[in-house]
Structures are given as C-alpha cells and as structure tokens.
A = this chain, B = another copy of it.
Amino acid sequence: MEGEMEGVPIILVVEDEEPLQEIVHDALKEGGFDLTTVASGQEAVAMVESGVVKYSALVTDVNLKGPMKGWEIARLIRQIDPAFPVVYMTGAAAEDWASEGVPNSVLLEKPFAPAQLVTAVSQLLNAGSPT
C-alpha cells in the first residue's frame, strides 16, 4: 500500500582485480542487489562524499594497487557516515582485521563462497536498519 518498491540497495564495491570483480558482481546481482564497482579508494570516497547516489554498504578488498588500503577506505567513509555497513575481503591480511578494521564490520577470508558475501551484506543491512 505504500506504493511500488522501486529500485534495490546499491552496494559500493572497491576491487581492482578482474576475476574478483566478476565474482562479487555475480554474487550481489544474484542476491538482488545493484552495485557500482570502482578500482581505487579515492574513487570510492569521492562517490560517497558527492552523495549523488545513495550507497547502502561498502564491500572492499583490503590490498589494492593504489595507495589506499581497504582499512583506510572504510575509516574515511565511516567519518562521513558512522553507520555505514562495511565488508572487507582479504586473503593475506586477515590477521590485521583486529587492529585495522572498524567496529561492526565483517571480514571475508578468501577463498569465500558467494553466499557468504550476500549473507554478510544482508545481515549488516538488516541489523543496521532499525533505531
């Protein structure tokens, strides 16, 4: 009765490696999300700052070719929006999550199944919506 549900949540993905871009793209699409994929932290932060599109969550690789790691990207975006849901993906850097991650974030260790990514994003959105 509230009018049609238009659109779906849009996830901001930071990934600079093609095979992983595809895995993340396919998993999120399969779960019914939309997404924008960028290859660097600078682009990601700029897009959240601009506010042109309302993103619902950040999914970021930890190690990227550019100067900004995933840890820093999440911190900068949380400065803009303290409740922004964050999912990190990493292979080698899992042990750094406890010191470099932000509170209430999820770490996906590579290799992960697509369902883990979709569940992580869904849990953060569902838990974060009320109050």
Contact = CB atoms under 8 A, between A and B. Distances in A.
A4 B20 contact: yes
Total copies of this chain within the assembly: 6
A120 B131 CA distance: 17
Given A75-B100, A102-B103, A131 B17 contact: no
A75 B100 CA distance: 7
A47 interface: no
A12 B34 CA distance: 28
Given A1-B65, A116-B122, A119-B123, A109 B129 contact: yes
Contact of A115 (B31, B63, B96): B31
Size bracket of the A interface: 35 or more
Interface in A19-41: 19-20, 23, 27, 30-33
Nearest to A24: B5
Interface string A87-131: 000111111111111111111111111111011111101100111
Interface of A: 1-9, 16-17, 19-20, 23, 27, 30-33, 61-65, 74-76, 78-79, 82-83, 90-116, 118-123, 125-126, 129-131
Q: Pick the 4 closest A-B CB pairs, nearest first.
A: A31-B115, A32-B113, A82-B98, A78-B99
